[in-house]
């Protein structure tokens, strides 16, 4: 290609897969391109489902992927720039199954209340290699431990390469470290406006996986690749600024919490079971969501308590925030954050009552009396039954999601062990 630029257009589909095209340099600027809307009928194993919005039974028409020249940014591949598109149907209307579009609507809903959502996301992932026989095996990290750094945590230094490339391209990294179980890593980007924060985490994940692959590492963000180790989540930290830019969450002391803070927590508690089917959207997700796993299983909340699902930070002022810990990166991150923001908003608008905070450790003991559904099948039923949440996130998106996931349930029913892991590992 020499010095000729090309454009890599990407969008995040219903499976959290980055779909896209390479296009010539002449496409750099405001523009659009078309894809088959039937992309939203596909499962991980490329089977088509007659899910609403997937157009499998409507002739598989085109959809438009529209992008803005100002959003085009430098990419991590040679001579390639990258941009994220919004999706529109063949009549020019916003595509109701586009997670990015639904997140933008969630932001507008909060802005109509005079508040602007800010978001920070924490990604967790496990690393694999291929052995001499070509079999996937855990990346050998001798002596790694939680919060370890250096060669014993990452002998091939693939995380250094991710850091260098991401920093070169303007991603604002908050931290990279090893997690509790080896070979597990955490990647956290800096807080930002909601849509920009999710755009960045979407692109960062693609970058991280591709840079890791250059080092012989298959980096997977699937929720539970090892049944005998901890799981990987996608934690959503969020707060709101008013028209003057002030963080309105305020003090975290129990007697001094603002009505907004209380309402947001109450909303996340109220919609706990309904949210699960969207933010923990695979069969494998429910291997991670278990009691005593610090994973976001329990319907509970607390201040600076990692055993709860909704954690109110003890920090105040500009750093005051809530952290929601149920989701994982198998979820479309735009849909995940939209679901969290909408559940919180419903709590404020509907003035849900706030239950008492968790007082127990959530490992040996707990105050909480219920948690997430125990399976994806149960979670989809709880989601369908939560009409206020469905309406807020988007009727068509949820209907499409349920249709796809019901077929996924059928196709994974007989899979276990490596076969079930391999169903997800290359895509999530």
Q: Which strand ranges, in their side-by-side order, compose the sheet holding 62-67?
A: 31-36, 62-67, 86-88
Residue 93 has a CB neighbour count (10 Å cut-off) of 8
d(C-alpha 334, C-alpha 146), whole Å: 29
Q: What's the pLDDT score for residue 314? A: 86
Are the C-beta atoms of residues 40 and 332 closer than 8 Å to each other?
no
Q: Is 162 helix (H, G, I), strand (E, B) or coil?
A: helix
Helix (H) or strand (E) holding 138: strand 136-138
Q: Is 178 helix (H, G, I), strand (E, B) or coil?
A: strand
d(C-alpha 230, C-alpha 287), whole Å: 10
Residues 6+ apart with CB under 8 A from 335: 14, 99, 102, 103, 278, 279, 393, 397, 401
Q: Where are the domains of the chain?
A: 6-98, 106-424
Pairing status of strand 184-189 against strand 116-130 = antiparallel
Question: For 106-424, CATH number?
Answer: 3.30.590.10
Q: What is the mean pLDDT of each run of 10 residues along the chain (428 residues)?
A: 79 98 96 97 95 94 97 96 96 96 98 97 96 93 91 95 97 94 95 97 98 97 92 96 91 79 97 98 95 92 93 88 96 98 98 93 89 97 98 98 96 87 88
Question: For 6-98, CATH number?
Answer: 3.10.20.70
Residues 6+ apart with CB under 8 A from 420: 283, 284, 412
d(C-alpha 317, C-alpha 258), whole Å: 13
Q: What's the pLDDT score for residue 254? A: 65
Pairing status of strand 18-24 against strand 322-324 = unpaired
User: What does R_g of the chain's alpha carbons equal in angstroms?
Assistant: 21
- What is the b/e burial string over 350-362, where b = at least 16 CB atoms within 10 angstroms of the residue's CB? eebebbebbebeb
Are the C-beta atoms of residues 142 and 188 closer than 8 Å to each other?
no
The pair of structure tokens assigned to 63 is 């959809």
Domains 6-98 and 106-424 share a fold: no
Are the C-beta atoms of residues 146 and 178 closer than 8 Å to each other?
yes
d(C-alpha 366, C-alpha 413), whole Å: 32
d(C-alpha 85, C-alpha 100), whole Å: 9
Residues 6+ apart with CB under 8 A from 42: 13, 15, 48, 49, 54, 404
Q: What's the pLDDT score for residue 371? A: 96
């Amino acid at each position: 290609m020499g010095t000729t630029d090309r454009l890599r257009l990407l969008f995040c589909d219903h499976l959290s897969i980055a779909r896209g095209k390479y296009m010539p340099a002449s496409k750099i600027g405001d523009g659009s391109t078309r894809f088959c809307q039937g992309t939203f009928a596909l499962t991980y194993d490329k089977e088509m489902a007659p899910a609403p919005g997937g157009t499998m039974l409507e002739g598989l028409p085109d959809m438009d992927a529209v992008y803005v020249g100002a959003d085009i940014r430098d990419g991590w591949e040679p001579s390639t720039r990258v941009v994220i598109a919004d999706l529109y149907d063949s009549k020019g209307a916003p595509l109701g199954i586009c997670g990015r579009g639904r997140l933008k609507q969630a932001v507008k809903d909060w802005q109509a209340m005079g508040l602007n959502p800010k978001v920070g996301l924490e990604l967790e992932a496990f690393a694999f290699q291929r052995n001499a026989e070509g079999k996937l095996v855990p990346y050998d990290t001798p002596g790694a431990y939680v919060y370890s750094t250096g060669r014993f945590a990452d002998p091939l230094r693939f995380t250094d390469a991710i850091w260098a490339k991401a920093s070169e391209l303007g991603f604002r990294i908050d931290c990279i470290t090893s997690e509790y179980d080896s070979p597990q890593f955490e990647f956290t980007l800096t807080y930002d406006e909601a849509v920009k924060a999710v755009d960045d985490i979407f692109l960062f994940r693609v970058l991280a996986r591709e840079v890791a692959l250059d080092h012989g590492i298959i980096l997977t963000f699937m929720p539970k690749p090892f049944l005998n180790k901890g799981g990987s989540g996608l934690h959503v930290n969020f707060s709101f600024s008013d028209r003057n830019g002030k963080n309105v969450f305020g003090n975290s002391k129990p007697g001094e919490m603002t009505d907004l803070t209380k309402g947001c927590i109450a909303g996340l508690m109220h919609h706990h079971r309904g949210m699960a089917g969207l933010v923990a959207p695979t069969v494998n997700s429910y291997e991670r969501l278990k009691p005593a796993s610090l994973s976001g299983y329990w319907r509970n909340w607390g201040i600076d308590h990692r055993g709860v699902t909704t954690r109110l930070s003890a920090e105040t002022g500009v750093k005051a925030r809530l952290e929601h810990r149920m989701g994982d990166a198998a979820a479309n991150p735009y849909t995940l954050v939209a679901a969290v923001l909408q559940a919180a908003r419903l709590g404020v608008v509907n003035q849900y009552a706030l239950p008492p905070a968790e007082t127990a450790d959530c490992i040996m003991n707990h105050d909480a009396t219920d948690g997430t559904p125990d399976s994806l099948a149960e979670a989809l039923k709880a989601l369908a039954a939560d009409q206020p949440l469905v309406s807020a996130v988007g009727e068509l998106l949820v209907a499409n999601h349920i249709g796809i996931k019901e077929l996924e349930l059928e196709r994974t029913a007989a899979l276990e062990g490596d076969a079930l892991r391999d169903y997800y590992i290359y895509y999530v």
